[in-house]
Structure 1
Amino acid sequence: MAESLPTAVVLLGGSPWLEWDFNTSSTIRDLAPSRIDRPGKRSIHILAYPIDVPCNYQKIIDITQRIWSGDGLVSGNQGNDDTRDLKPAFALHMGMRSSNPGFCVETFARRDGYCELGDEGDSFPSELFETGGLWEGFPSKLYSDLNVPQVTSTVSRMVPGVDITVSDNCGLYFCEFELFATLAELRRQNLPGKAVFLHVPTDKRPEAIQLGVRVVEAIVQAIVDNHEV
């Protein structure tokens, strides 16, 4: 029965970038639980997207279109019969931020201002917003429809002492472009913006990674719980 299907949340992590030969967001993604059971409620399945999101404009667009295509996703740590046909209801995108020692949950993404070249020398595709472009007529900012302050507050209660804040500056780098791309794809399909971006610290010590896993689990549960209220 469709009513008994779990709620699926797709979880994405980034690839190494600049001087970093690792990305803690992808490590956290790979260690996140595949399932969260909630007594009396539908379970939550976390679909770990099996590819690290690269610093590449077109590939980011391709990935965001893939996750919202309506096709079932097969995650890297699952892919069994119970999860093969699940379609994500929400997306939690993640990336690593070196300028902040804590976790930051982003609220919106800007359309313009991206100056960095991608990992294949690709430049920002401004034609996306021109006449006939994929995102023609889209506003200069797109906001998550999720209640980010409420989600962040819930996570603070679930993970006592964690350094997690609401951010209004995603950084105008590929992380922000990824958030804009996923919100734009949802808007293009006339769907609500049920996606959010989490910046995680660069600390790759085992205890720091485990804290990141706890934070992700709490965010995912808070997103779904708050939406069901």
Structure 2
Amino acid sequence: MSLQQSIIGSNATPFVVGVTGGGLYNSGFDYNSAAVLKDALPDSFHREGKPTIKILKATENLPAEYYPSRKLIQGLWAGNLSMYDPTEEPNDGLQVRLMIHMGMRTKEPNYCFETFARRDGYIHPDNLGKLPSPEDYDTGGYFDGCPEELRPNVDVEAAGKAAQELLPDHKMRVSSNAGHNLCEWFFYTSLAEGYKRGAPRNVAFIHVPPGRREEDLKTGVEVLKAYIGALVSQIEAKSEA
């Protein structure tokens, strides 16, 4: 069964969630736990009495590069199925209702649920040695009209609390500082895509700790399942109101 058939061929339309991981960067690690965890996620989460949550995992990890990552994020939001499954034809009809971005925070033991992202002040060069261009902020530039800060249209704090209540022994926290680096750039760019289109900014960013052992991935999948489930429930409640 193709990816598109698995999405639209069900009797009950699933809730579609896109998930991205991160590429390698100057962290001292030869892997990015965000990418490893993304690949470890199941293709779907079953919920009793509710539509299945369908997980679409981006085949290409967001590179530690400002502009190539933006191009990828734009394509993911455009509903291009080939960005989740290269055997599929490009398709603009897919409705991703929630986008989850992940990045690795090397000295953080917790899963961190980020609350907002900043447009300005990125001073750390990417893997290509580049910074965001000032032209992006000029009239007609990519960020023209976007506010200095953007927040998701989901309640990160409430979802984080719900996840912690389900998994009291797991380390997680709500964060008010996404790092002012490439991870925060990914988050802001994805939020800006919704802002520019006047669409709901159903975006979440999660910083994950390093680790790729079986027990690390088991914990990560459990945290992601709980957090994504809480966010999806919020979005569903809004659509039914």
Output the TM-score relative to the length of structure 1. 0.91
State the secondary structure of the residue aligned to 1:216.
helix
Partner of 2:234: 226
* Identity value in percent: 31
Q: Aligned pair 1:32/2:45, yes or no?
A: no
SS of residue matched to 1:211: helix
Residue in structure 2 matching 1:176, options 184, 200, 217: 184
Note the residue ranges of structure 1 that are not aligned, 5 or more in a row: none
Confirm or deny: 8 A CA contact 1:71 1:87 kept in the other structure: no
Structure-1 residue corresponding to 2:104? 96
Q: Deviations over 1:173-226 (max 9, x none)?
A: 100000000000111111111001000001232211210111111121111112
Structure 1 residue 163: deviation in Å? 1.1
Instruction: Note closer, same or farther for the CA distance 1:70–1:205 as it changes in structure 2 (3 Å cut).
Output: closer
Distance (whole Å) between structure 1 residues aligned to residue 110 and residue 66 of structure 2? 27
Question: How many residue pairs were aligned?
Answer: 227
Shift of 1:74: 5.1
Which AA in structure 2 matches 1:220? I
> Could you tell me whether the CA contact under 8 Å between 1:36 and 1:43 is conserved in 2?
yes
Amino acid corresponding to residue 180 of structure 1 in structure 2: Y
Residue in structure 2 matching 1:50, options 44, 49, 59: 59
User: 2-side partners of 1:226 and 1:110: how far apart?
Assistant: 24
Match of 1:14 in 2: 22
CA contact (8 A) 2:33 2:209 kept: yes
- Relative distance call for 1:206 and 1:70 in structure 2 (3 A) is closer
Q: Distance between the aligned counterparts of 1:174 and 1:55, measured in 2? A: 7
Alignment of structure 1 residues 114-193 onto 2, 5 Å: 114-193=122-201
Alpha-carbon distance in structure 1 between the residues aligned to 2:15 and 2:82 = 13
Letter in 2 for 1:228: E
Q: Match of 2:42, as an amino acid?
A: P
The 2-side partners of 1:70 and 1:35 are apart by 18
Distance in 2, Cα, partners of 1:41 & 1:79? 29
Question: What amino acid maps onto 1:149 in structure 2?
Answer: E
- Hey, what does 1:23 align to over in structure 2? 32
Map of 2:114 onto structure 1: 106
Q: Answer whether contact 2:20 2:62 (CA < 8 A) is retained.
A: yes
User: Counterpart of 2:77?
Assistant: 68
Q: Does 1:194 align with 2:215?
A: no
Higher mean alpha-carbon deviation, 24-33 vs 13-22, is at 13-22
Give the superposed CA RMSD: 2.3
